[in-house]
Structure 1
Amino acid sequence: MKAFGKQVLIQLKMDMRDKGTFMVFYLVPLAFYLVVGAVFSSVNPLISETLSAVMAIFSITMGAVIGLPPTIVKMRETSVFRAYKINGIPNLAVMLSLGVSAFLHLSIVALIISISAPYIFDAQVPENILGYGLIMVVFLTCSVVIGLLIGVMAKSQGAALMLSQAAFMPSLMLSGIMFPATMLPEALMYAGYALPATHAMKGFASLAYDMPTDIGSFTSLGIIIGILILALGLTAYRVEKITRIN
């Protein structure tokens, strides 16, 4: 356990030193939060009710789905996984350290947004803080695991970028974080129900802000957990397959 803690600490330092990772985890999400938060709160004051949750979902999705996969592909291409294996460190342990590191980075960003939004943009404070935290942790974990899955599935940096965008853009446009999902064509609206971001938004609205939604908060939470378990199983299977090949 001590060795794993050291590995996570090393990974955190590596992430902070990597300009691309630092930009995707911190700079871009926080810049987007400040700019778009100002626009949204001016154009549509009603969005201030859930602005903290909206910006947190965006930041988490971007960091996990776009920021994490390139790191994993790069480690595979440079034989870092093989070096770890030679030194007796399983690939699953390396992946776990990457996931924990990403979780911590994105938790910091989400916390910054959640604390500052009520002061900067007069965003509504969640009525149920514990519910807000529960949805945040489960969605963050699910997003990180999806990022890990994309990283182990992609065979090149280009493929990782395509898969990341294929997951990120629908999450941005179909989940209801940019505009109400009811404004979408019916087919796209129902397609959005396959996305964790959609259920995170509904979970925040229902459980944290006590707003009416078409799906109950615990149903949304259960769907996110189901997606998390599926992605986790696929990631573990793919990592074991890569380990056997190498």
Structure 2
Amino acid sequence: MTAFANHFGFEFRTGIRNRSLLLLNYLFPLAFYLMMGFVMTALNPLFRDVLLPAMVIFAIYTAAILGLPDPLVQARDAGIFRSYLINGVPRLNILVIPALTTSLHLVIVAALIGITAPLLFDAPTPVNWPAFIVVFLATLLACAGMGVLIGVISPNSRATMLLSQLFFLPSMLIGGLMIPYGMLPRAAQIAAHLLPSTHAMNAFRGLAMGQAADFWPWGSVLVLLAGGVTAFGLAFYLFRWDSQHTKRRLPVAAAALALLPYAVGALVVSTY
């Protein structure tokens, strides 16, 4: 337990001291939130209704999808994981602790957004705070799992950036943050069901914000939970202690199974 706490404390301090992680965990999501709050609400007053959940989801994506994978790749390539193996550090700790520290940073960011959005932009607050917390945690699990999986399967930092952006950009465009799900073409709606942001936004609207959900909101929560558990499980089995000598238990293509809960959700959840 002491070793776990020390590892956790080190990773948490790294998230503040490392300039790149500080940017992705705090500065970028908060700056984007302020820009969207001042600009987007002036251009489209209706955006004020979804400002709080949309910016919380954006912060989760920025820290978990863009910020979480690359340190894992760098640590593996630098031989740090090999030293962990020699000293008996379990692989589960290596995957879970960065996700937990990132989640703690995101709790702070989400609290800042939740406190300031009603004061600065007259954004509505959740009508059901317990549901808001449940959806927030489910979204954290889904995105942290995906971020860890990207870090595990990426062969280098360049591939990490490409894989992260491949997941991040569609989520921003068709994931319900900027364009409502109901305004998307049917083909885009089908594709949107494969993204955690779509389910997170749907659950936030239907369960926490007192707004109309586009489809079954509790189903979205279940999809997020299943997606997070699946991604972490795949990351555990695809994990390698170093880049050259350790073979994977599963082929890299097995990482595509992380989308299976979302594909099932597209068939089941959207029908309710």
Aligned residues of 2:61 and 2:168 also touching (Cα < 8 A): yes
Please list, as runs of the form range in 1=range in 2, the aligned pairs for 1:1-246 lying within 5 A after superposition.
Answer: 1-239=1-239, 241-242=240-241, 245=246
Q: Distance in 2 between matches of 1:7 and 1:21?
A: 17
Q: Distance in 2 between matches of 1:2 and 1:162?
A: 37
Q: Distance in 2 between matches of 1:209 and 1:17?
A: 35
Q: Counterpart of 1:135 in structure 2: which amino acid?
A: V
Structure 1 gaps, min length 5: none
Aligned-pair distance for 1:242?
4.2
Q: Counterpart of 1:192 in structure 2: which amino acid?
A: A
Q: Distance in 2 between matches of 1:192 and 1:184?
A: 9
Residue equivalent to 2:253: none
Q: Distance in 1 between matches of 2:111 and 2:75?
A: 29
Aligned-pair distance for 1:214?
2.7
Q: Distance in 1 between matches of 2:59 and 2:98?
A: 18
Q: Distance in 2 between matches of 1:27 and 1:209?
A: 26
TM-score normalised over the length of structure 1:
0.95
Q: Distance in 2 between matches of 1:32 and 1:228?
A: 26
Matched pairs, number: 245
Q: Distance in 2 between matches of 1:113 and 1:6?
A: 29
Deviates more, 1:172-181 or 1:148-157: 172-181
**RMSD of aligned C-alpha atoms?**
1.4
Q: Distance in 2 between matches of 1:211 and 1:126?
A: 10
Residue equivalent to 2:251: none
Q: Distance in 2 between matches of 1:109 and 1:69?
A: 19
Q: Distance in 2 between matches of 1:217 and 1:185?
A: 20
Aligned residues of 2:91 and 2:236 also touching (Cα < 8 A): no
Aligned-pair distance for 1:14?
1.6
Q: Distance in 2 between matches of 1:227 and 1:14?
A: 27
Q: Distance in 1 between matches of 2:112 and 2:85?
A: 37
Q: Counterpart of 1:245 in structure 2: which amino acid?
A: T
Describe the SS at the equivalent of 1:89: coil
Q: Counterpart of 2:43 in structure 1: which amino acid?
A: V
Task: Identify if the C-alpha distance between structure 1 residues 242 and 83 changes in structure 2 by more than 3 Å, giving closer, same or farther.
Answer: closer
Deviates more, 1:90-99 or 1:137-146: 90-99
Q: Distance in 1 between matches of 2:179 and 2:188?
A: 13
Aligned-pair distance for 1:148?
0.5
Describe the SS at the equivalent of 1:194: coil
Q: Distance in 2 between matches of 1:130 and 1:41?
A: 26
Aligned-pair distance for 1:182?
2.8
Deviates more, 1:206-215 or 1:124-133: 206-215
Percent of matched pairs sharing the same residue:
36
Structure 2 gaps, min length 5: 248-272
Measured against aligned partners, the alpha-carbon deviations of 1:130-179 in whole angstroms (never above 9, x if no partner) come to: 11111011101211111100000101000000000011001111111012
Q: Distance in 2 between matches of 1:35 and 1:154?
A: 32
Aligned residues of 2:33 and 2:55 also touching (Cα < 8 A): yes
Q: Counterpart of 1:133 in structure 2: which amino acid?
A: I
Aligned residues of 2:81 and 2:241 also touching (Cα < 8 A): no
Describe the SS at the equivalent of 2:193: helix
Q: Distance in 1 between matches of 2:97 and 2:214?
A: 37
Describe the SS at the equivalent of 1:245: coil
Aligned residues of 2:144 and 2:228 also touching (Cα < 8 A): no
